[in-house]
Amino acid sequence: MLKGIANAFRIPELRKKILITIGILALYRFGAYLPAPGVPFASMLEAFQTAAAGSGAIAVLNLFSGGALSRVSVFSLGIMPYITAQIILQMFQAVIPSLGELAKEGESGQRKITQYTRYLTIGLALINAIGYLFLFKSYGIDFSQLGFPEFIEDIVIVGVLLTGAIIIMWLGEVITQRGIGNGMSLIIFANIMAGLPSALISSVKTSSTGTVVTLITVLVMIAIIPVIVYIERGQRRIPVQYAKRVVGRRIMGGQSTYLPIKVNTAGVVPIIFASALLYLPAQLAVFFPNVGWIQFVANALASGWVNWVLSVLLIVFFAYFYTSMVFNPDETADQLRKAGGFIPGVRPGNATAEYIKSVLDHITLPGALFMAILAVVPSILFSITGNTLMQSFGGTSVLIMVGVAMDTISQLESQLKMHNYEGFFK
């Protein structure tokens, strides 16, 4: 492992990508601690902690922002507006034919969809910024620290939060294009990891048995990591045979290989998307902090049996939905046919596409259910024990952290092997 890291820094191009990624994540964490102008930091933090203790929705929103929301920092909105915009655009691709055709146009089409995603992100971020302003004011905090009229101070805070969301979107795209790994996933990873020390301390202080519960929780989290890795690396290998062809005086083909299909093709995207949708009502509820039934619905969707049931259903749905977006059986069958390959016992063409689709449907369900169970069980245990570590670092957080780490390491591994170096693992 250490030799692989050393080799990565020997390659100038790869070293530059790693340093860009680390630098952007450090810049992001700095912005998470930089308060908006005119915000009374100490009183705001105290008021937010009191509110979060009584609202599971607010606590989770703060977790996904890496604690930035509780500080009313420049990056309070976090990455959620960008994720929500991506969900909406990807779902629209399946509903609106023109968007679906645009996605198939290759790089030029993807650039247009990315542009639409950016515009939608700005709109959602503006709505969220105004909503959070209402939420902060409901705590009775005086924001007129700069001596300006109240409406000017409100415009400044909303403008700062909106600008912060745009910067986060840009930082995530820079990591994806010029760094290592997926920028959106790495920012969420950094947010979750940033809250680990405080969650451990809070978990120990919750009760007289807090240390014991925390130790057991940490051991279970460590023990579950190999299981997550096993599922993430799991594949169904479909045998493929290539027919012999005579090219000039040479006989080509005739070899046997396999088509690897991952058990969890969608990775951690279903969990991220499901979490974003479930906590969207909590983001909308900040517009109406004093309306009881709206707060009740937001909290019900953020925790409790309604959240558990919807989490399972949404994770399974997004696992199938995202898999269908990234893996096209018809294209795979067509590529096999053009290369002279076939699956033994299956006719080329439509029959091969149907067979691949059937295999994909069968293996996606176990992976999706595994993710769903791992995401829901810690929340159930938290409702029983009240241990905050289970709430902050339950199955969802562990799955995201392990999944993002594996994806990033895989990208580094491929870059190392491309430059004729050994990877991280032999």
Q: Is residue 424 part of a domain?
A: no
* Interval 218-246: pLDDT, tens: 777 777 778 888 887 888 888 888 766 65
Average pLDDT, the chain: 77
Q: What is the DSSP string of 262-301?
A: ETTTTTTHHHHHHHHHHTHHHHHHTT-TT-HHHHHHHHHH
* Structure-model confidence comparison of residues 240 and 302, the more confident one: 240
Q: Report the range of poorest mean pLDDT among 110-119, 260-269, 288-297, 383-392.
A: 383-392
Say whether 257 sits in a helix, a strand or coil.
strand
Residue 352 has pLDDT above 80, yes or no: yes
Q: Is residue 426 part of a domain?
A: no
Instruction: Domain of residue 371: give its range.
Output: 2-418
Type and span of the H or E element at 250? strand 250-252
Say whether 159 sits in a helix, a strand or coil.
helix
Q: Is residue 47 part of a domain?
A: yes
Q: What is the dihedral of CA 91, 94, 97, 99, to 10 degrees?
A: 40
Residue 147 has pLDDT above 70, yes or no: no
pLDDT grade, residue 142 (50/70/90)?
Answer: low
Q: What is the pLDDT of residue 248?
A: 59
Q: Is residue 46 part of a domain?
A: yes
Mean pLDDT of the region 35-47:
69
Q: Is residue 410 part of a domain?
A: yes
Mean pLDDT of the region 310-320:
87
* Interval 49-70: pLDDT, tens: 665 555 555 666 676 677 777 7
Contact 240, 257 (CB under 8 A): yes
CATH code assigned at 204: 1.10.3370.10
Q: Is residue 425 part of a domain?
A: no
Q: Is residue 423 part of a domain?
A: no
pTM, whole model, 2 decimals?
0.74
pLDDT grade, residue 408 (50/70/90)?
Answer: confident
Q: At residue 36, what are phi and psi to the nearest 5 degrees?
A: -65, 155
pLDDT grade, residue 324 (50/70/90)?
Answer: confident
The neighbour count for residue 254, using CB atoms within 10 Å, is 11
Residue 392 has pLDDT above 70, yes or no: no
The total number of structural domains in the chain stands at 1
Q: Is residue 182 part of a domain?
A: yes
Q: What is the pLDDT of residue 178?
A: 87
